Amino acid sequence: MKAFIIDRYDKKDPMRFGETPAPELRDDDVLIEVHAAGLNVLDSKIKSGEFKQILPYRMPLVLGHDVAGVVTRVGSRVRQFKVGDEVYSRPPDRRIGTFAEFIAVNENDVAPKPKNITMEEAASIPLVGLTVWQALVERCGLKTGQKIFIQAGSGGVGTFAIQLAKHLGATVATTTSSANRDLVKGLGADIVIDYKKDDFEKALQDYDVVLHSQDAAALEKSLRVLKPGGMLISISGPPDPAFAKGIRAPWFVRLIVRLLSSGVRKKAARRNLKYSFLFMRANGNQLREITRLVEAGAIKPVIDRVFPFESSNEALAYVEAGRAKGKVVVKIK
């Protein structure tokens, strides 16, 4: 099958377009013909080797963490899907590879595609949708009447997080540029701060939750907008000991992680705050919950651009530039 492949960790070299063996179908797997694949900053970070200590991969490797497509074969133990079903998924970390014509995924990591959106729109959802669900629903249990600050509201995670937070009844503050103000207001943001002109630390106070996705400076300031007992959930680091334990990292990686996060954890503790690092995981049941929200109209996909499959390198470069409003997708089928 045709795929975009990397042969080694490298930040600058483009992915190689070529032939690779079709994926092996296990008894609990469905084989998905890929119609569209979403691109994420995570793909770029894996390609450059940023996660090779905690998430090593065997080369050659096909990247890609979001898929929407059609089931073409099922394993002998599969009970939830049949050939011809339209589905979407965020494959688990050890089995990524959606920048290809086919991918095999365990049925428990797959969900029916929302009926009211296109394949391209569906492919934009899994990774950011699960990230936000696990942060807002699973990790902090966001409730009606609480206040949440979502950084980078016009990005892939931000556009989804604003919508889910409003659905849960929270007051939402976010940062973006003035050019994207109408976009995030339209998604439900109550307070919009122009990060180019204003300091969010001076504008916000007594927040219950911060969803952090920016740099260390923003992390430091975010602690100061939370009220005692509040929670800062970071998807950009530093990773914490709970994360290292969860992935069963070797002892030396656990030690490094503990040292990397010791500063922010101590500062959070002094303020009676909780700090939590989130590295989302595949989960078909949670994706089914997201399907219901999309079909009910509570969540709408936000897509910046759709690239043809052969332009996947250009699409990844566009994501790396950090200017996308919502998600970037490649159309494969």
How confident is the model at residue 254, as a pLDDT?
92
Rounded mean pLDDT of 113-131?
Answer: 98
| Residue 139 placed within a domain | yes
Question: What's the CATH number where 149 sits?
Answer: 3.40.50.720
Q: How many CB atoms lie within 10 A of CB 55?
A: 16
Residues 39 and 132 in one domain: no
Provide the 3-class DSSP secondary structure of residue 120: helix
Provide the number of structural domains found in the chain.
Answer: 2
Pairing, β 86-89 against β 110-112: antiparallel
Residues 169 and 206 in one domain: yes
> What digits encode the pLDDT tens for the residues 16-50?
999 999 999 999 999 999 999 999 999 999 999 99
| Residue 287 placed within a domain | no
| Residue 213 placed within a domain | yes
Task: Pick the closest to residue 330 from 1, 5, 6, 39 (CA basis).
Answer: 39
Tokens linked to 251: 């002892």
How confident is the model at residue 247, as a pLDDT?
85
Question: Is residue 55's pLDDT more than 90?
Answer: no
Residues 149 and 247 in one domain: yes
How confident is the model at residue 297, as a pLDDT?
97
Question: What's the CATH number where 102 sits?
Answer: 3.90.180.10
Residues 180 and 312 in one domain: no
| Residue 64 placed within a domain | yes
Q: Percent of the chain having pLDDT more than 70?
A: 100
Rounded mean pLDDT of 158-183?
Answer: 98
> What digits encode the pLDDT tens for the residues 274-332?
999 999 999 999 999 999 999 999 999 999 999 999 999 999 999 999 989 999 999 99
| Residue 296 placed within a domain | no
Residues 132 and 271 in one domain: yes
With 0-12 / 13-18 / 19 or more C-beta atoms within 10 angstroms meaning exposed / middle / buried, residue 209 is: buried
How confident is the model at residue 272, as a pLDDT?
98
Pairing, β 86-89 against β 67-74: antiparallel
Residues 116 and 13 in one domain: yes
Residues 243 and 171 in one domain: yes
Residues 98 and 156 in one domain: no
Average model confidence (pLDDT) for the chain?
Answer: 97
- Residue 220's domain comprises 127-277
Rounded mean pLDDT of 72-94?
Answer: 97
| Residue 293 placed within a domain | no
> What digits encode the pLDDT tens for the residues 184-240?
999 999 999 999 999 999 999 999 999 999 999 999 999 999 999 999 999 998 999
CA distance 24 to 7: 20
| Residue 80 placed within a domain | yes
Question: Is residue 53's pLDDT more than 90?
Answer: no
CA distance 131 to 32: 22
| Residue 295 placed within a domain | no
Residues 93 and 31 in one domain: yes
The single-letter DSSP state of residue 14 is P
Residues 198 and 245 in one domain: yes
Boundary-marking domain end, from 277, 292, 319: 277
Residues 85 and 54 in one domain: yes
Q: Which backbone phi and psi does 243 adopt, to 5 degrees?
A: -65, -45
Rounded mean pLDDT of 250-273?
Answer: 94
Q: How many CB atoms lie within 10 A of CB 293?
A: 17
Cα separations in angstroms, 43 against 99, 113, 117: 10, 22, 24
pLDDT band at residue 248, thresholds of 50, 70 and 90?
confident
Residues 139 and 10 in one domain: no
Query: Quick check: bond before 60 cis, omega within 30?
Result: yes
